[in-house]
Amino acid sequence: MTSSSKRNQSIFEATNRPERVFEVPKENTGKTMKVSEYFGDNVFDFRTAEGIPEAVRVELLKVAKISGKKLKREHVEVVATAATEWATQRGATHICHWFQPLTGSTAEKHDAFLAFKGDKPIEKISVTQLMQGEPDASSFPNGGSRSTFEARGYTAWDITSPMFLTESTNGKTLCIPTAFVSYSGQALDVKTPLLRSINRLDAAATKFLQLTGKSDAKNVMVTCGAEQEYFLIDKAFVAARPDLVMTGRTLFGSLSARNQQLSDHYFGEIPERVLSFMQELDHELYKLGIPAKTRHNEVAPSQFEMAPIFNDANVSADQNQMMMAVIKKTAAKHNFEAILHEKPFAGINGSGKHLNWSMRDDKGNNLLEPGSEPHQNLRFLAVMGIVCEAVYRHGDTLRMAISGHGNDHRLGGHEAPPSIISVFLGDTLNHIVEALLAGKTFTPDDKKFVDVGADQLAQLMRDNTDRNRTSPFAFTGNKFEFRAVGSSQNIGFPMSVLNAAVTEVFNESNTWLEKELGAGKSVDQALQELTLKWIKNCKPVIFNGDGYSEEWVKEAAARGLPNLKNTPEALGVLTQKDRISYLTEMGVFKAEELETRYNVLIEKYVLAREIEYRTQMEMVNQYVVPSALEYKAELLASVNASKQAGVDFSIEKELLSMLDQTFQKVYSECSNLKRALETVDLDEHVTAAAKFAEQLMPMSESLANQCNELEELIPDHLWSLPKYREMLFLR
C-alpha cells in the first residue's frame, strides 16, 4: 500500500458521486409547487398565524414595535396554544429555545411538547416555557463575568423574530428565537445588544425625521441583507485532511499551478453537482421563510455565494445564522463539506460576508435612497454625512467587531479590504461632497446641471456607484455595504456597533438641529449646514482609491486613521474606556458586557490558534515526515542500485540533497514552533494572544511554506494528503 492510496480513494469517491435528488413539493395533482406556494411553510409568526384573535395580535404588535412595552401572560398563552397546535400538527415533538451565545454559533436546548393533564398525555407548551428558558450558563463562554454560584442563564423569547420548524431525518423541532442573559440581566449573547441598538437607532433616527419635515414619522427600522460566501469541498477530501476537520482551514498545501488566475470560475456556469446542492439549499431556505435571491460562483475555485433579499436587521441576523446552518446541513447531504472559514486555502481568495445596511421609516422609505425631490436629496445627504461621521469616529470599534483569527488571514491580503476602515462614496457622491466642501454647486459629468439639493440625484446615483471592491465600507446606491465582515461571523455584533455609532451622531445632529431650527433656520438650510459640518469633520475617512495599495496604508496613517493589524490588536480597543464609552452611553452594551466580550474573544483567539499550531505539528509528524522518509529511502535504494550496477547516480544525489535541505528545515521549524508554544503561558490570554499573533503566527506560516516545498519535491505516490488541485477542482 503506497502513502497515496488513501488519497486516491478520496479522489475516486469525490469524482464518482451520484447526484442527490430531493423531493420537490408537489400539489395533489402532481404538479410542482411554485416557491410562492410553500415559502415560509415552516415559519410560525404571530403576525400571520391562524388561531390568534385580532385583538391579541394588535397587542403583541405593540410589544414588538415599542420598546419597553411588556408582554402579557394571557397573550403569550394564546400564542403558546396556537404554536403548539401548528407545530404538532406538522409532526414536531419538541420545542427549543434557539439562541446565540458568544461562541459565535447558535445553541439550542430541546424540551418535549409532551405534558400530562392528570394521567392523560397531551401536547402543550406553557407560558413560561415559551417566554423563558434556563439553560445552564456555566458551560458557555462568559469571560469570567459570572461567579460559579451565578451559573444560571435565561433565554427570553424574542417576539420580533418568527419561530421556525427544523426538520431532520427522524423528526421536527419548533425553534424559538431567544435572547440569552445572565441572572443579573447581563447580555450573554449577540442578539440582546443588537435589539438594544435597533431600538436606540430607531428613537434617534425617528426624531431626526420629525425634526426635518417628516412630523408624522413613527419609527425607523434598520434593514440588512448579508451576502454569504462559502467553499464546497467533497467530504472525502475533508475527511483525509486533519487540518480541515480540526480547524476549518488547510494549515499547509502547495498552491496548484492553476488556481484563480484565469478568472474562469467567477460567475461561470455553476457545476452540476453544486447546482443540485444550491437548488435543495434554496428550497430549504424558502420553507424557513428566508428569501434567498442570488446564487453564483465566486472568484476562487470551489467558492460560491448566496444572498437573500434584505430584511429587518434582527430577523436578517437570525436568518444569516440559520442560513449558515442550513448551508452546512444541506451540503452534507450532497457529500460536500461547506467551509465557512474566512481563509480555508492560502494563495486564493477567502470568504467574507457583505453586510448591506440601511434604514427605512414606517412608510417604507429608505433613508439612504437619494430620492427625486430636492428636500429628499438634502435629507439623504445629511444621513449620508451622519453615517460617514459615525464610521470616522468609531472605525476602531468597527474593526474590533469584525476581528477573529480567520479574518486575520483575509483583511489586507489583496483580496479583501485592509484593516483600515474607510468609506467609499463613488464618483457622483464624491463630486457632491467636494462641491459642498468648496462651497460650490455641483455639476455632474454628463453636463446635466444639477444643483446640490436639486432633483435627479437618485438616477445619477444609481448609475454612478461604480464598484470598488477594495473598500471596507462602501455606498452602493441606496445602502452602505460593510465588506470586511468574515464569512463565519455573526453579523449581529458588527451591526450593533455600527448602529450605536450612527445613533450617537444622530443624537448630536438632533440637538444641533433643535437649536438651529429654534433660532429660525429653515429645514433645508439646516440640513445643508449639518451635512457640511459632518463632511468637513470626517473628510479623512472618505477614500475612493485603491484600498489594497501600499500607498493607502501610508496615506491612512498620515490621515490619522487607525490600522489595527490583527485580532489581539483590534480587541485591545475594548480595553480603552474612552474608545468604547459611547457603546455604553448609547445603551447598547453595559460596561461589564464589553469586558466579558473582550475576555471571551481573546480566549477564543488563543484557543483557535493553539489548536491550529498543535494540528499543524501533528500533521508534520504523522504525514509529512513519513512521506519524506519514504522518499529518502527510495532515493537511497536507487543510489545503491546504481552503485552496484556501476552507473551514474548524480541526479539521485542532487535530489537527495534538495530533499535533505528542505526536510531539515521542516523538522527544525516544527521543533522551534513546539518549543515556542511551550514557553507561552496559555492561561494568560492577553499575553498569549499577542505572542501568538506576533511570534508564533510567522513561525507557523514559514513552516507551512517549507511543507509546501516538500510537497512539491516528493513524488505524488508518496504524498498522503489530498492536494489543493484535487480538493479545489475535483468533484
Would you tell me which residues interact with Mg ion (CB under 5 A)? 354
| Three-class secondary structure assignment of 671-688 | HHHHHHHHHCCCCCHHHH
* CB of residue 273 to ligand ADP, shortest distance in Å: 25
Task: Look at residues 475, 472, 492, 473 and name the one whose alpha carbon lies nearest to residue 410.
Answer: 472
Q: How far apart are CA 36 and CA 46, in angstroms?
A: 20
Nearer to ligand ADP, 241 or 360 (CB): 360
Q: How far apart are CA 619 and CA 670, in angstroms?
A: 10
Residue ranges with strand state E in 49-162: 92-99, 107-112, 114-117, 120-123, 132-133, 153-157
* Residue 3 contact partner, candidates ligand ADP, Mg ion, none, CB within 5 to 8 A by sort of partner: none
* CB of residue 721 to ligand ADP, shortest distance in Å: 36
* CB of residue 586 to ligand ADP, shortest distance in Å: 21
| Residue of closest CB approach to Mg ion | 354
SS3 assignment, position 231: strand
Asked if residue 371 lies in contact with residue 458, where contact means CB atoms within 8 angstroms, the answer is yes
Phi-psi region of 659 (alpha: psi -120 to 50; beta: other; left: phi over 0): alpha
* CB of residue 265 to ligand ADP, shortest distance in Å: 17
* Alpha-carbon distances, residue 1 vs 47, 259, 727 (angstroms): 63, 31, 22
Nearer to ligand ADP, 83 or 322 (CB): 322
* Residue 687 contact partner, candidates ligand ADP, Mg ion, none, CB within 5 to 8 A by sort of partner: none
Q: How far apart are CA 637 and CA 632, in angstroms?
A: 9
The cell numbers describing 542, all together, are 472618505
* CB of residue 353 to ligand ADP, shortest distance in Å: 11
Q: Is the dihedral angle over the CA atoms 88, 92, 94, 95 positive or is it negative?
A: negative
Nearer to ligand ADP, 225 or 722 (CB): 225
Nearer to ligand ADP, 356 or 615 (CB): 356
**Concatenated DSSP letters for 664-730?**
HHHHHHHHHHHHHHHHS-TT-HHHHHHHIIIIIHHHHHHHHHHHHHHHHHS-GGG--SPPHHHHHH-
* Alpha-carbon distances, residue 141 vs 145, 151, 402, 616 (angstroms): 9, 11, 18, 26
Residue ranges with strand state E in 14-134: 43-44, 92-99, 107-112, 114-117, 120-123, 132-133
Nearer to ligand ADP, 448 or 467 (CB): 467
The runs of H, that is alpha helices, within 539-590 are: 550-558, 567-571, 577-585
Nearer to ligand ADP, 281 or 689 (CB): 281
Report residue 140: phi and psi, to 5°.
-95, 150
* Residue 310 contact partner, candidates Mg ion, ligand ADP, none, CB within 5 to 8 A by sort of partner: ligand ADP
Asked if residue 675 lies in contact with residue 682, where contact means CB atoms within 8 angstroms, the answer is no
Report residue 631: phi and psi, to 5°.
-65, -45
* CB of residue 266 to ligand ADP, shortest distance in Å: 13
Residue 217 one-letter amino acid: A
Nearer to ligand ADP, 209 or 224 (CB): 224
Contacts to ligand ADP by CB under 6 A: 223-225, 227, 307-310, 356-358, 366, 478-479
* CB of residue 225 to ligand ADP, shortest distance in Å: 3
* Residue 680 contact partner, candidates ligand ADP, Mg ion, none, CB within 5 to 8 A by sort of partner: none
Nearer to Mg ion, 4 or 228 (CB): 228
* CB of residue 473 to ligand ADP, shortest distance in Å: 14
* Residue 224 contact partner, candidates ligand ADP, Mg ion, none, CB within 5 to 8 A by sort of partner: ligand ADP
* CB of residue 476 to Mg ion, shortest distance in Å: 7
| H/E stretch holding 311 | strand 311-312
* Residue 308 contact partner, candidates ligand ADP, Mg ion, none, CB within 5 to 8 A by sort of partner: ligand ADP
Report residue 306: phi and psi, to 5°.
-135, 145
| Residue of closest CB approach to ligand ADP | 225
Q: How far apart are CA 296 and CA 327, in angstroms?
A: 14
Q: Which residue has the cell 447580555?
A: 187
**Concatenated DSSP letters for 283-308?**
HHHHHTT--EEEEEE-SSTTEEEEEE
Give CA angle at 560 (555, 561), nearest 5°. 80
Dmax (CA) for the chain in angstroms is: 105
Q: How far apart are CA 542 and CA 430, in angstroms?
A: 9
The runs of H, that is alpha helices, within 212-312 are: 235-239, 242-247, 272-287
* Alpha-carbon distances, residue 318 vs 46, 93, 112 (angstroms): 17, 23, 23
* Residue 464 contact partner, candidates ligand ADP, Mg ion, none, CB within 5 to 8 A by sort of partner: none
